[in-house]
Structure 1
Amino acid sequence: FDLIWADVDTKTLFAVELKTIGDQRLYISDKSKQSTNYNKIDLQLKKYSDFIKDHQDDLLSHYQRVFQVKKKLGILPSGLKCLDSLDYFTFEEEPILLIGDCAQEWINQQSERLNKALKDIAYGCFYQGKSTRQFYIPEKTKPNKYIFKQPFE
């Protein structure tokens, strides 16, 4: 996965996979689901989910150490500076897919198909424009941010 999002309110770490609309792995179809092409986004996210489930304790320990190093160096993101540690955090087993560079027309044409393909594999699928700086995880589905799990189970 490309990044880890630490949600301070729920004390949860999320694996986030980043893609742009030009990535061919997003264009899975019912026909392609029958193939064993491991470059498809659904299979990629499934592998991430399996990895997280198998190594959850190690991942938590690793990111707790990363947090402490960044804290000592004074380079924590501003939203995490209020924390002393990640000791009480859990690691969400299902990753989030964040697709950037999206025009609303593309989202309208592609989101239903992608959401259907990923609803049992991912925590959610978020569609954003040119910038992903305003990334956050809502408690429930909002425009262009689809949550597939019951919020923060």
Structure 2
Amino acid sequence: MSVTRAPAHWACAPLKTSVPNARHQARREIESAGFVAPDSDAAYSIELAVTELVTNAVHAFANAASGRSVRPASLIDVCLRWTSASVVVEVTDELPGVPTMCPTSADDESGRGLALVALLGTWGVRPTPVGKTVWCEIPYEARGVAC
């Protein structure tokens, strides 16, 4: 993976309001980087990956807060790593556990985030000293996902 631009990093609070803010920040980074057209399938795929992965982190924080204390200063870190052929979207949080794709039915209102991310590109989870990073690598020639 050849890096062609410094990564874009930003942090957001583990709140529902952070999800659209993260999506808008991703849009600004896409426009600034210039690797993909802002109205391309790849741009929409990057925004979708950021949206779904930040949503998962927000939900994980909400679930952890209901069962035990979560440090008030905890943040979700978002990073876009630009390469010559793809972008790697990384979302890091301080919570243990690994997200998994869950079976869903047509009537379920949630639970499809990782399935959507898997359609966008290669994805995975790696542990960090205090939590985990969930990542997705999206090629610039991304097909996009019809919703």
- TM-score normalized with structure 1 length: 0.32
- TM-score normalized with structure 2 length: 0.33
Question: Would you tell me which structure has more strand in proportion to its own residues?
Answer: 2
Larger of the two Rg values belongs to structure: 1
